[in-house]
């Protein structure tokens, strides 16, 4: 369907549900993609949600459940018996989605649902998958695979693939393993279309296959799939046995989450929030950073209060406090962001660390000189106080230099300490640079006012 029409459809479906208009509701859900139906769920009462769910067929209901946001899903599953969850949802999902959704349930509910899964083998697979940490390749992978033995020929393989294909949603790649289940290569469907049916798989398999281990971090999985333009990525255990595959759509979500997290960090928001979250959540995500800013402000007040007497004589010293703190903050955030982004994108550079620091230092000096020269010119024209003019320019130069180096150094340090370097962007770096900049400004001021 044409994407443009979707928003209208969503609005009309919502109206049909409110009016309990079975026929219209049913027709609209038939037209809409599960991801769009999930949008509607967000604004339904629990009664309306149940009504809508009863009108969906099992397969579609399962797809919608996967697309729901975590909190919507939690609310909805809470009111359903474990047997319904197992039979109508879990049984209609791929193993990785089933494991993700089960993992969200409280412990006793988990066991209740698992006990109702009809296919014991599937229940076992789901339990195995839940044992991998969420943020690793094992936690991302699904076990729905089409595999052929390297010793089969094309005809046997096609027959086996037909059998296996019934359990798998989409076939992008066929994996080739040896008798011990060790990953040996991939088989592109294109190749299968082109060769004779008696050809041995061994001879047409592509052995140049990129894979990860179950323990590989999800961010690295995302980087690998992006770098090598992969649609699926096989996952092996420590001895190389094929355990599952990760598909690009799961990784796209990881990438967006990572990007959102870094963006939020630099904006001073601590949690993953969305505009439709409630007031309490929105406040909780923002207040912590503001408290850091508040403490920083109080410390800055302390620093300035040491200069109370000077300010009484030279009140013009106060004029440029906002300029100094703002520039320190801006320069610091720029420097740290460049480092954080390079680390996040894994922009593997062959430059030495020394060269990197030297470069950052050069940029800081150019910026510092340009900005100081401008403010020097301005103050020479406008200000009556020569001491103030010199103070502002030299303090600004020092602050730009300090903030650049500090902003570059801190995320590198955090990364070395295995702490998320994104912590070093946003309010944290701004607050420290505010205070440092202020101290530099006031010390420089005292010196120049003593000379002139």
Q: Which of residues 404-423 bind a second copy (CB under 8 A)?
A: none
Is 171 among the residues that bind a second copy (CB under 8 A)? yes
Is 224 among the residues that bind a second copy (CB under 8 A)? yes
Is 334 among the residues that bind a second copy (CB under 8 A)? yes
Is 228 among the residues that bind a second copy (CB under 8 A)? yes
Is 434 among the residues that bind a second copy (CB under 8 A)? yes
Give the Å distances, CA to CA, from 244 to 80, 117, 141, 172, 223: 30, 21, 6, 14, 19
Pick left, alpha or beta for residue 186 (phi over 0 → left; psi -120 to 50 → alpha; otherwise beta): beta
By CB under 8 A, the residues from 187 to 216 that bind a second copy are: 188-190, 193-194, 208, 210-212, 216
Cβ-in-10-Å burial (0-12, 13-18, 19+) of 315 comes to exposed
The angle, 0 to 180 degrees and rounded to 10, between the axes of the packed helices 321-344 and 427-451 is: 140
Give the Å distances, CA to CA, from 431 to 92, 139, 202, 293, 385: 51, 37, 61, 6, 29
Residue 284: partners with Cβ closer than 8 Å, 6 or more residues away: 270, 271
Is 259 among the residues that bind a second copy (CB under 8 A)? yes
* 196 in Cβ contact with 155 (< 8 Å): no
Tally Cβ neighbours within 10 Å of residue 438. 22
Is 282 among the residues that bind a second copy (CB under 8 A)? yes
3-state secondary structure of 235: strand
Rg (CA), the chain: 30
What's the rounded Cα separation, in Å, for the pair 147 and 241? 12
The site for a second copy, by CB under 8 A, has a size of 132
Beta carbon of residue 430, minimum distance to a second copy (angstroms, whole number): 7
Beta carbon of residue 349, minimum distance to a second copy (angstroms, whole number): 5
Is 264 among the residues that bind a second copy (CB under 8 A)? yes
Tally Cβ neighbours within 10 Å of residue 234. 24
Give the Å distances, CA to CA, from 367 to 323, 336, 375, 400: 15, 16, 12, 7
Is 369 among the residues that bind a second copy (CB under 8 A)? no
CA-based nearest residue to 411, from 328, 338, 317: 338
**Torsion from C-alpha of 250, 75, 39, 35, nearest 10 degrees:** 30
Is 283 among the residues that bind a second copy (CB under 8 A)? yes
Beta carbon of residue 421, minimum distance to a second copy (angstroms, whole number): 13
What's the rounded Cα separation, in Å, for the pair 89 and 34? 14
For a second copy, the binding residue among 371, 432, 436, 444 (CB under 8 A) is 371
Is 387 among the residues that bind a second copy (CB under 8 A)? no
Q: Which stretch binds a second copy (CB under 8 A): 85-93, 113-121, 341-349, 443-451?
A: 341-349
For a second copy, the binding residue among 71, 115, 267, 419 (CB under 8 A) is 267
For a second copy, the binding residue among 37, 52, 114, 161 (CB under 8 A) is 161
- Of the pair 100, 434, the CB lying nearest a second copy is at 434
By CB under 8 A, the residues from 31 to 70 that bind a second copy are: 33, 35, 39-40, 42-43
For a second copy, the binding residue among 220, 241, 380, 419 (CB under 8 A) is 220
Task: Name the DSSP class of 241.
Answer: B
Beta carbon of residue 89, minimum distance to a second copy (angstroms, whole number): 18
CA-based nearest residue to 410, from 430, 382, 384: 430
By CB under 8 A, the residues from 288 to 327 that bind a second copy are: 289-291, 293-294, 296-298, 300-301, 304-305, 308-309, 311-312, 315-327
Q: Which stretch binds a second copy (CB under 8 A): 78-86, 177-185, 278-286, 443-451?
A: 278-286
For a second copy, the binding residue among 342, 376, 401, 423 (CB under 8 A) is 342
Is 390 among the residues that bind a second copy (CB under 8 A)? no
Q: Which stretch binds a second copy (CB under 8 A): 76-84, 100-108, 177-185, 254-262?
A: 254-262
CA quadruple 394, 396, 402, 404: dihedral sign: negative
By CB under 8 A, the residues from 136 to 155 that bind a second copy are: none
Q: Which stretch binds a second copy (CB under 8 A): 73-81, 87-95, 112-120, 183-191?
A: 183-191
Beta carbon of residue 81, minimum distance to a second copy (angstroms, whole number): 29
Is 447 among the residues that bind a second copy (CB under 8 A)? no
Residue 200: partners with Cβ closer than 8 Å, 6 or more residues away: 150, 151, 152, 153
Give the Å distances, CA to CA, from 440 to 324, 328, 391: 9, 11, 10
- Of the pair 86, 184, the CB lying nearest a second copy is at 184
């Amino acid at each position: 369907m044409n994407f443009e029409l979707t928003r209208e459809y969503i609005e009309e479906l919502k109206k049909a549900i409110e009016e309990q208009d079975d026929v219209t509701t049913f027709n609209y859900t038939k037209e809409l993609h599960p991801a769009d139906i999930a949008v509607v769920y967000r604004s339904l009462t629990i009664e309306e949600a149940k009504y809508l769910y009863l009108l969906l067929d099992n397969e579609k209901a399962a797809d919608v459940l996967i697309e729901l946001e975590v909190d919507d899903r939690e609310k909805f599953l809470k009111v359903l018996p474990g047997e319904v969850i197992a039979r109508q949802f879990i049984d209609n999902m791929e193993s990785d989605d089933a494991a993700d959704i089960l993992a969200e349930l409280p412990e006793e509910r988990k066991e209740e649902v698992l006990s109702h899964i009809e296919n014991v083998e599937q229940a076992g697979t789901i339990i195995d998958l839940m044992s991998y940490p969420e943020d690793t390749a094992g936690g991302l992978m699904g076990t729905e695979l089409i595999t052929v033995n390297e010793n089969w020929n094309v005809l046997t393989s096609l027959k086996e693939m037909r059998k296996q294909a019934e359990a798998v949603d989409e076939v992008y790649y066929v994996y080739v393993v040896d008798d011990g289940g060790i990953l040996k290569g991939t088989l592109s469907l294109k190749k299968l279309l082109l060769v004779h049916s008696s050809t041995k798989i061994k001879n047409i398999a592509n052995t140049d296959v990129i894979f990860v281990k179950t323990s590989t971090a999800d961010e690295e999985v995302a980087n690998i799939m992006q770098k090598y333009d992969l649609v699926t990525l096989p996952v092996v255990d420590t001895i190389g046995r094929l355990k599952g595959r990760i598909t690009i759509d799961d990784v796209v979500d990881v990438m967006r989450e990572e990007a959102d997290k870094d963006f939020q960090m630099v904006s001073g928001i601590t949690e993953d929030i969305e505009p439709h979250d409630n007031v309490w959540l929105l406040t909780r995500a923002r207040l912590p950073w503001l408290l850091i800013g508040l403490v920083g402000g109080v410390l800055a007040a302390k620093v300035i209060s040491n200069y109370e007497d000077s300010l009484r004589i030279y009140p013009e010293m106060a004029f440029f406090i906002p300029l100094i703190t703002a520039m320190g903050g801006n320069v610091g955030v720029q420097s740290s962001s460049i480092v954080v982004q390079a680390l996040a994108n894994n922009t593997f550079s062959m430059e030495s660390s020394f060269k990197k620091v030297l470069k950052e230092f050069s940029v800081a000096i150019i910026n510092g000189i340009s900005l100081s020269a401008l403010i020097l010119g301005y103050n020479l024209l406008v200000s009556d106080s020569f001491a103030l003019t010199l103070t502002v320019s030299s303090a600004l130069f020092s602050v730009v230099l300090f903030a650049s180096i500090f902003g570059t150094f801190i995320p590198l340090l955090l990364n070395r300490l295995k702490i998320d370097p994104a912590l070093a962007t946003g309010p944290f770096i701004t607050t420290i640079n505010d205070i440092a900049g202020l101290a530099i400004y006031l010390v420089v001021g005292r010196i120049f006012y003593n000379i002139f």
